[in-house]
A and B are shown apart, each in its own frame.
Chain A
Amino acid sequence: MPSVVTANRLDDGIVVYLAPGGGWSENLADAARAEGEDEVKALEAVADAAVRDRLVISVYPMPVEVKDDGTVDPISVRERIRASHRTTLTKDWYDVPL
């Protein structure tokens, strides 16, 4: 199961994912995937540098599931909600199934 590294942006707190070039994207689809411990560690090292550079806070790796079409989905409900960036004000919006 591959992993990606997620964080919150320091200046606005929004959920972001570490992308292959070392940038940060709000879109999980852009996330760099790591297979195995060494690759996860390498991504975390990049992320730690971004913490020092005051780009992000609250960094951690999380496992994702690769779907048939090659895109990824978070495993936990919590991470599915984070990845959706959704608010709950509007009626009938809820599409993360109960």
Chain B
Amino acid sequence: MYRYDEFDHAFVNERVSEFRAQVGRRLAGALSEEEFRPLRLRNGVYLQLHAYMLRIAIPYGQLSPRQLRQLAMIGRKWDRGYGHFTTRQNLQFNWVKLVDIPDVLAALAEVEMHCIQTSGNCVRNVTSDPYAAAAVDELEDPRVWCEILRQWSTLHPEFNWLPRKFKIAVSGAAEDRAATAFHDIGLRIVRGPNGENGFRVLVGGGMGRTPYVGQVIREFLPKEHLLSYVESILRVYNLLGRRDNLFKARIKILVNTLGIDKFREAVEADWEATNKAGIDLPEDEVRRIASYFAPPDLPEQPSRDEALAARREADPRFAGWYRNNVLPHRVPGYASVVISLKEPGRTPGDASSDTMDLVADLAERFGHDEIRVNYTQNLVLPHVARADIPALYDVLAEAGLGVGNNELLGDMICCPGLDYCNLANARSIPIAKEIAKKFEDPARQTEIGKLRVNMSGCINACGHHHAGNIGILGVDKKGTELYQITLGGSPKDDAAVGTIIGPGFRAEKVPDAIGTIVDTYVERRHEGESFLETWRRVGAAPFKEALYGAR
């Protein structure tokens, strides 16, 4: 795990004292709200519906037990005992007092965390594959490059006032588990013509009001040029991106207005003229950073564990959880374990301070001190010995965390919506809860199979509804919450934006509408076909008819 050097420590601590002074001046009246607002936003402090919200950066979704325990402590001491994990792999506290935030930031700094660049028109938290350094299909650890990008983009003087916020994701595996195609820049580590690793660079993806799948700007970028190339993309965007219209300011609009070819030409010309050696990281520096990400020492173990096999035989609940939440690991005898934050009845992505403490303990007992946050709003222990899995499960199940719904219908992504968010048009959490209730039976979810259901409370799409196989978007129609359903979205390698299937539904009708869609899929699917495959084969007509036919 990356450790702060003296510079990082000094810098973060300076920011804490700076913000403490700013809060002091605000409370004393030396700063008006208009003057203070951009300062607090730069430190991750939003004013939401009920209270202030503090967004804490979790770089590439990686946490140590010590950090998670500190987050638990912060939740208990300064919030209401819980936080919300987001699709940016960050954590939000919903009820912190402005007067306490300087102390919270100081507590975060103690464990090398902060809230810098979790808001504002700058490069936001770089996200990644939660199974980095564990997945069997990984070419190279993406976290090293995330960390390099993090250091480079933190307070980068040229890119601190971009036309709009900027999101980067890096994946180092064959399967895209970081939704890279829906990012301003998506980076995929791929094998190059001479067998060396480099990046396939996607640009201009994004959700929100105008969703786009990212386009390839470069099929293969030698690794050593990552920073100079990304810098050229940002420079072109910074110069040509629109600043006159908030809704047209993201890079996706620029890329799609110019066309990818023209945009590429501009970037390549800038890159050509760039002094790459002045920007790209020297090889020994890359090696130094990479050394922080050395995988834990995992002595090989027999890949078949008899006790584990017997438990799967004898305990159907355990077997069901295991089938969905235990993923293969590259080292024989190990696995990655998903801790679902989607127990039916709970707010998706919320974790209490007790849960955080428990997961920190489990990471120490069974998980080689590593925890990851998945953008799908679950936690992951990436390195667990298979022999320890039954004991781990027993602790999770006891705490209500043994829900085996990873990647199934119940594993919904859900933004805070109108229960918390100042920008929301409609509630999303209660809808997710109602859907979870309808599909509570694990056998039913297993029968349906993998299905990504994503939900947002407004067009900003924090809940990734565009990328859901089934997407749900809350809108406000003359004071009534209405829910638009999209079908056929995908966040993976076959990335696609979902299609609106028809008129929206009132809140109480949404669970049944999802039921109808699922039934239509199950009836129509060929053996082994995923929802997307069926959707692509049969098209919208049968779904429309099932939903609206009787009207």
A54–B28 CA distance with the chains assembled, in angstroms: 8
Decide if the interface of chain A is mainly helix, strand, loop or mixed. loop
Does chain B have a CB within 8 A of A91?
Answer: yes
Does chain A have a CB within 8 A of B304?
Answer: no
Q: Mark B69-106, 1 if CB is under 8 A from A, else 0.
A: 00000000000111000000000001101110000000
Please determine whether A14 and B50 come into contact, CB atoms closer than 8 angstroms: yes
Does chain A have a CB within 8 A of B345?
Answer: yes
Chain B contributes a number of interface residues (CB within 8 A of A) equal to 38
Q: How far is the CB of B471 from chain A (nearest CB, A)?
A: 19
Q: Which of A13, A57, A58, A92 contacts B97 (CB 8 A)?
A: A13
Q: Which residues of A contact B33 (CB under 8 A)?
A: 51, 57
Q: Which residues of A contact B346 (CB under 8 A)?
A: 89, 91
A94–B508 CA distance with the chains assembled, in angstroms: 13
Does chain B have a CB within 8 A of A69?
Answer: no
Q: How far is the CB of A54 from chain B (nearest CB, A)?
A: 5
Decide if the interface of chain B is mainly helix, strand, loop or mixed. mixed
A87–B49 CA distance with the chains assembled, in angstroms: 11
- Given the interface pairs A81-B419, A98-B508, the reply to whether A87 lies near B94 with Cβ below 8 Å is yes
Q: Which residues of B contact A77 (CB under 8 A)?
A: 418, 426-427, 479, 481
Q: Mark A63-98, 1 if CB is under 8 A from B, else 0.
A: 000000000000111100110011111011010001
Q: Which residues of B contact A11 (CB under 8 A)?
A: 27, 97-99
Does chain B have a CB within 8 A of A49?
Answer: no
A82–B419 CA distance with the chains assembled, in angstroms: 8
Please determine whether A91 and B345 come into contact, CB atoms closer than 8 angstroms: yes
Please determine whether B51 and A88 come into contact, CB atoms closer than 8 angstroms: no
- Given the interface pairs A12-B51, A54-B27, the reply to whether A92 lies near B345 with Cβ below 8 Å is yes
**Residues of chain B in range 309-362 having any CB-CB distance to chain A below 8 Å:** 345-347, 350, 352
- A86-B419, A87-B80 known; 16 new pairs, CB 8 Å cut-off, are A11-B98, A12-B99, A13-B51, A15-B50, A51-B33, A57-B33, A57-B47, A81-B49, A81-B418, A81-B419, A81-B427, A87-B82, A88-B429, A89-B346, A89-B352, A98-B508
Interface residues of A (CB under 8 A from B): 8, 10-15, 51, 54, 57-58, 75-78, 81-82, 85-89, 91-92, 94, 98
- What are 11 A-B pairs at a CB distance below 8 A? A10-B26, A11-B98, A13-B51, A13-B98, A51-B33, A58-B47, A78-B49, A82-B50, A88-B419, A88-B429, A89-B82
